[in-house]
Amino acid sequence: MIQIHPEAQRTEELRQLLQQASYAYYVLDAPIMEDAVYDQLYRELQELETQHPELVTPDSPTQRVGERPATHFTSVRHNIPLYSLENAFNIDELQAWDQRWRRQLPTTDAVKYVSELKIDGSALALTYQDGVLVRGATRGDGVTGEEITQNVRTIRSIPLRLNFDGIEPIERIEVRGEAFLPLEVFKQINEERQKAGEQLFANPRNAAAGTLRQLDSRIVARRRLDFFAYTLHIPGMDDASIANTQWEALELLQKMGFRVNPNHQLCESLAEVAEYYKYWDTERLNLPYMTDGVVVKLNAFKLQEQLGFTQKFPRWAVALKYPAEEAPTRVENIAVNVGRTGALTPLAEMRPVQLAGTTVSRATLHNSDRIAQLDIRIGDTVIVRKAGEIIPEVVRVIKELRPADTVPFVMPSHCPVCGQEVVRESGEAVTRCVNASCAAILKGSIEHWVSRDALDIKGVGEKLVHQLVDKGLVHSVADLYDLTEAQLLSLERMGEKSAQKLVDAIAQSKNQPWHRVLYGLGIRHVGSVNAQLITEKYPAVEKLETAKQSDIEGIYGIGAEIAQSVYQWFHIDANQALIERLRNRGLQLAAEETATVNESNQKFAGKTFVVTGTLPTLKRDEAKALIHKAGGKVTDSVSQKTDYLVVGEDAGSKLAKAQSLGITQLTEAQLLQMLADE
Q: Where do the domains of the chain lie?
A: 6-55, 86-321, 326-423, 439-510, 514-585, 608-676
Mean pLDDT over residues 221-234, rounded? 90
**Lowest mean per-residue pLDDT among 253-257, 333-337, 363-367, 559-563:** 559-563
Neighbours of 144 (CB within 10 A): 15
Give the pLDDT of residue 60: 76
Mean pLDDT over residues 225-252, rounded? 83
Statement: residue 200 has pLDDT above 80: no
**Lowest mean per-residue pLDDT among 137-151, 195-209, 596-610:** 596-610
Give the pLDDT of residue 236: 61
CATH topology of domain 514-585: DNA polymerase; domain 1 (1.10.150)
Give the pLDDT of residue 557: 67
Whether the Cβ atoms of residue 361 and residue 413 lie closer than 8 Å to each other: no
Query: How would you class 461 by CB atoms within 10 Å of its CB: exposed for 0-12, middle for 13-18, buried for 19 or more?
Result: exposed
Statement: residue 356 has pLDDT above 70: no
Whether the Cβ atoms of residue 381 and residue 329 lie closer than 8 Å to each other: yes
| Two domains, one topology: 326-423 and 608-676 | no
Work out the pLDDT band at 119, boundaries 50, 70, 90: very high
Work out the pLDDT band at 389, boundaries 50, 70, 90: very low
Work out the pLDDT band at 4, boundaries 50, 70, 90: low
Give the pLDDT of residue 205: 81
Work out the pLDDT band at 71, boundaries 50, 70, 90: low
Tell me the torsion sign for CA atoms 488, 493, 497, 498.
negative
Work out the pLDDT band at 480, boundaries 50, 70, 90: very high
Whether the Cβ atoms of residue 664 and residue 616 lie closer than 8 Å to each other: no
Give the pLDDT of residue 210: 82
Is residue 112 part of the annotated active site? The answer reads no
Query: How would you class 631 by CB atoms within 10 Å of its CB: exposed for 0-12, middle for 13-18, buried for 19 or more?
Result: middle
Question: How far apart, in whole angstroms, are the C-alpha atoms of residue 564 and residue 551?
Answer: 11
Strand partners, 534: none
Statement: residue 105 has pLDDT above 50: yes
Instruction: Kindly report, residue by residue over 453-465, the tens digit of the pLDDT.
Output: 899 998 898 899 9
Residue 27 DSSP code: I
DSSP secondary structure string for all residues of 597-656: --GGG-TTTT-EEEEESB-SSS-HHHHHHHHHHTT-EE-SS--TT--EEEE-BT--HHHH
Mean pLDDT over residues 227-247, rounded? 80
Statement: residue 597 has pLDDT above 70: no
Work out the pLDDT band at 91, boundaries 50, 70, 90: very high
**Lowest mean per-residue pLDDT among 137-151, 375-389, 402-416, 590-604:** 590-604
Give the pLDDT of residue 104: 86
Statement: residue 610 has pLDDT above 80: yes
Statement: residue 595 has pLDDT above 50: no
Statement: residue 262 has pLDDT above 60: yes
Neighbours of 588 (CB within 10 A): 18
Whether the Cβ atoms of residue 357 and residue 284 lie closer than 8 Å to each other: yes
Statement: residue 658 has pLDDT above 60: yes
Give the pLDDT of residue 27: 53
Q: Where are the alpha helices (DSSP H) in 131-233?
A: 149-152, 183-195, 204-212, 217-223
Residue type, 117: L
Of 85, 82, 228, nearest in space to 145 by CA: 82
> At the top level of CATH, which class does the domain 608-676 belong to?
alpha beta
Binding-site residues for NAD(+): 35-39, 84-85, 116, 139, 178, 297, 321
Work out the pLDDT band at 28, boundaries 50, 70, 90: low
Statement: residue 596 has pLDDT above 50: no
Question: How far apart, in whole angstroms, are the C-alpha atoms of residue 459 and residue 145?
Answer: 56
Return the CATH number of the domain spanning residue range 86-321. 3.30.470.30
Give the pLDDT of residue 594: 41
∠ CA 463-466-470 to the nearest 5 degrees?
Answer: 145
> At the top level of CATH, which class does the domain 326-423 belong to?
mainly beta
% of the chain with per-residue pLDDT over 70:
90
Mean pLDDT over residues 416-420, rounded? 91
Question: How far apart, in whole angstroms, are the C-alpha atoms of residue 50 and residue 52?
Answer: 6
Statement: residue 29 has pLDDT above 70: no
pTM of the model: 0.48
Question: If you compute the radius of gyration of the chain from its CA atoms, what whole number of angstroms results?
Answer: 30
Mean pLDDT over residues 210-221, rounded? 83
Total count of residues recorded for the chain: 678
Binding-site residues for Zn(2+): 415, 418, 438
Give Dmax (Cα) for the chain: 93
- φ, ψ of residue 581 in degrees (nearest 5): -65, -40
Statement: residue 81 has pLDDT above 90: no
Give the pLDDT of residue 449: 95
Give the pLDDT of residue 237: 57
**Lowest mean per-residue pLDDT among 176-180, 353-357, 580-584, 636-640:** 353-357
Instruction: Kindly report, residue by residue over 551-574, the tens digit of the pLDDT.
Output: 998 886 687 888 898 999 999 888
Question: How far apart, in whole angstroms, are the C-alpha atoms of residue 596 and residue 142?
Answer: 66
Binding-site residues: 35-39, 84-85, 116, 139, 178, 297, 321, 415, 418, 438
Mean pLDDT over residues 2-25, rounded? 73
Statement: residue 295 has pLDDT above 90: yes
Question: How far apart, in whole angstroms, are the C-alpha atoms of residue 609 and residue 618?
Answer: 15
% of the chain with per-residue pLDDT over 90:
39
In the set 112, 118, 386, 624, the catalytic residue is 118
Work out the pLDDT band at 116, boundaries 50, 70, 90: very high
Compute the mean pLDDT over every residue in the chain, rounded to the nearest whole number: 84
Say whether 448 sits in a helix, a strand or coil. helix
Report the first-to-last Cα separation within the chain, whole angstroms: 51
Chosen CATH of 439-510 out of 1.10.150.20, 1.10.3080.10, 3.30.930.10, 3.40.1190.20: 1.10.150.20
Strand partners, 133: 128
Give the pLDDT of residue 69: 46
Chosen CATH of 6-55 out of 3.30.1780.10, 1.10.287.610, 1.10.1040.10, 3.40.1010.10: 1.10.287.610
Statement: residue 485 has pLDDT above 70: yes
**Lowest mean per-residue pLDDT among 170-179, 276-285, 322-331:** 322-331
Mean pLDDT over residues 231-241, rounded? 69
**Lowest mean per-residue pLDDT among 163-167, 493-497, 632-636:** 632-636
Question: How far apart, in whole angstroms, are the C-alpha atoms of residue 157 and residue 26?
Answer: 5
Question: How far apart, in whole angstroms, are the C-alpha atoms of residue 143 and residue 171?
Answer: 23
Please report which helix (H) or strand (E) contains residue 393, including its range: strand 391-397
Give the pLDDT of residue 57: 79
